Structure 1
């Protein structure tokens, strides 16, 4: 520990470590959603209208977009890149608009909308807590 202090490096706080694992958990969630959209696109899923050529145009656009963006968001979140949460936010807003604004086209999936909201709130809480801890450390350190 003294070696870290001598070099001016600090250990990550519990909030920072938790934030890393939170982002990696959300990366797994994004990868799962991406795989589910790909399964639908290639016709492996046995549901009605879940093969690309049988989907209505609005579902084709949404499914292709999310099938590409969700795995991309997963990569960014897993690598802790600054663009990972941005791509996740694009996916979350897209699905939220799909299921809240156009339920007649995409159906009602409140659980997905609520899960996106919870993830956004937790992300914001982590960022605020980490910022507050850094400010406090600068003030007293």
Structure 2
């Protein structure tokens, strides 16, 4: 094996790198969807008392405004594979999980959203660990 083929092999992403990148892009799509849903809630497109900003209780106003801004921002960062995108997504996931688990009397109890966030964070951590382990093994060679 010559130096060029060794260099090329180290430049090409591994299967764990590709899986991690595509998982981030899938999560980016979900973040964009959640962001759009929060914007729909803010502008009052859907009928209902919790679906218009001026009729929402203050706790829903604060949560909706923050998540309507943070979810699309996280989606952009995750799509670009930027480290801050994962941080923003983690903040959004923890915020929604806290809303629905700690304050169900204020926001309701939405177990599917909590399970989805927990599963996504677990898969993200596992894929990140695989990528980290592969890169560490490649550096040792």
Matched with 1:70 is 71
Greater helix fraction, Structure 1 or Structure 2: 2
Partner SS, residue 119 of structure 1: helix
Q: Distance in 2 between matches of 1:128 and 1:119?
A: 14
> What are the equivalent positions in structure 2 for 1:101-116 lying under 5 Å apart?
101-116=102-117
Aligned length: 139
Q: Distance in 2 between matches of 1:70 and 1:4?
A: 41
Q: Call closer, same or farther: CA 1:99–1:109 in 2, change over 3 Å.
A: same
Partner SS, residue 49 of structure 2: coil
Q: Distance in 2 between matches of 1:22 and 1:119?
A: 9
Q: CA RMSD in A?
A: 1.5
Shift of 1:4: 5.3
Deviations 1:91-119 (A, max 9, x none): 01110110000000000101111111011
Q: Distance in 1 between matches of 2:7 and 2:120?
A: 37
Q: Distance in 1 between matches of 2:85 and 2:36?
A: 17
Q: Distance in 1 between matches of 2:7 and 2:102?
A: 55
Between 22-31 and 128-137, the greater mean CA deviation after superposition: 128-137
Matched with 2:36 is 35
Q: Distance in 1 between matches of 2:16 and 2:26?
A: 15
Q: TM-score, normalised by structure 1?
A: 0.92
Shift of 1:80: 0.7
Q: Distance in 2 between matches of 1:112 and 1:61?
A: 19
Which runs of 5 or more structure 2 residues have no equivalent in the other structure?
none
Deviations 1:45-103 (A, max 9, x none): 12332100000000000000000000000000001111000000110111011000000
Matched with 2:93 is 92
Shift of 1:6: 4.3
Q: Distance in 1 between matches of 2:26 and 2:57?
A: 32
Q: Distance in 1 between matches of 2:7 and 2:129?
A: 28
Partner SS, residue 49 of structure 1: helix
